[in-house]
Amino acid sequence: MGPLGLFSAVESTASAFSEAGFGGEAAGEPLFITLSGISKRYGTVTALTGLDLDIPPGSIFGIIGKSGAGKSTLLRIMSLLESPDSGQVYYGRERVDTLRGAALRERQRNMGMIFQNFNLMASRNVSGNIAYPLEIAGLHKKQIHERVEELLELVDITDKRRARLRELSGGQKQRVAIARALASSPQVLFCDEATSALDPLTTRSILSLIRELQRKLSITVVLITHQMEVIRAVCEEVAVLDGGQVAERGTVRDLFANPRSAAARELLHSGQQIGHTEGGGDE
Ligand SMILES: Nc1ncnc2c1ncn2[C@@H]1O[C@H](COP(=O)(O)OP(=O)(O)OP(=O)(O)O)[C@@H](O)[C@H]1O
Ligand SMILES: [Mg+2]
């Protein structure tokens, strides 16, 4: 069985969510992100240099490259956490890299982000972490409670609603982080090495959740990884980053069948398999 085999079990859960009334989640049109001529330096280090990339809306787009290739820098610029030294970022037709203040915060509410190390708050329990962005947004207590319950169900972790973080496995923590990232119904979810700290089985269960959520909510997912197998498991299209530029870009199928760049060939040869054992992971 190939690495995609596990996703058959996921389809049935997705339809269960529709029946549970999560159908109205989608936040309007999926976001079309375009980057044009992006350069970024840190002192003498050139992180990105004249990078052009457009991210197809409503899909899972992969960005792969070896350590130091510029992936996280690109993600911070794409998600408006950092400004490029030169070049432009567009969401749809709107130029967004120049936004500041309230207009920037408004845009940032439209995106969710998850990381390798989860970035959760140890002082809050599971529900408290998921509630945090809703509190910041000024929702009423009752609205927050209802939304948190929806999100707990969406990421399948309702039984842990009052658990402390130290009582959770890595996979469960990432589920909490995903729920928090989706709290304000973003149009795009950015994932920076979201499965890199997880074992193979848990990686598969988190990837299948991301895939299920992308379909369910019709969001755009940008997934950064250094693992080819992660790309193969969930992405439709992929860009290979090398030395702060796009070395190659295309469908995942083409990349695996016929890698054109030296960077892609290198990543393919060094690639490890995600475990092929059946089961859900997480525990
Ligand atoms: N805040 C920073 N200050 C100084 N240098 C930085 C900073 N952020 C990134 N860099 C440098 O920019 C280059 C690209 O870094 P980046 O973190 O984007 O790579 P990456 O592809 O995400 O790598 P990894 O796979 O290890 O996470 C590296 O040489 C890095 O050292
Ligand atoms: Mg990185």
* pLDDT tens-digit profile, the chain (283 residues): 334 333 333 333 333 333 333 333 445 677 899 999 999 999 999 999 999 999 999 999 999 999 999 999 999 999 999 999 999 999 999 999 999 999 999 898 889 999 999 999 999 999 999 999 999 999 999 999 999 999 999 999 999 999 999 999 999 999 999 999 999 999 999 999 999 999 999 999 999 999 999 999 999 999 999 999 999 999 999 999 999 999 999 999 999 999 999 999 999 988 755 654 444 455 4
- In this predicted structure, what is the pLDDT of residue 282? 59
Q: What is the DSSP letter of 31?
A: P
Is the distance from the beta carbon of residue 67 to the nearest atom of ligand 1 less than 6 Å? yes
H-type alpha helices, the chain: 7-17, 71-78, 101-108, 126-136, 141-154, 170-182, 200-217, 228-234, 252-257, 262-270
Taking only the tens place, the pLDDT of each residue in 92-128 is 999 999 999 999 998 988 899 999 999 999 999 999 9
Predicted TM-score (pTM) of the model is: 0.87
Report d(CA 117, CA 131) in Å as an integer: 19
CATH fold of 7-115+192-270 reads: Rossmann fold (3.40.50)
Ligand 1 proximity of 245 Cβ (cutoff 6 Å): no
Instruction: For ligand 1, pick from 49, 51, 71 the residue to mutate: most ligand atoms within 8 Å of CB.
Output: 71
Distance (Å) from CA 146 to ligand 2 centroid: 35
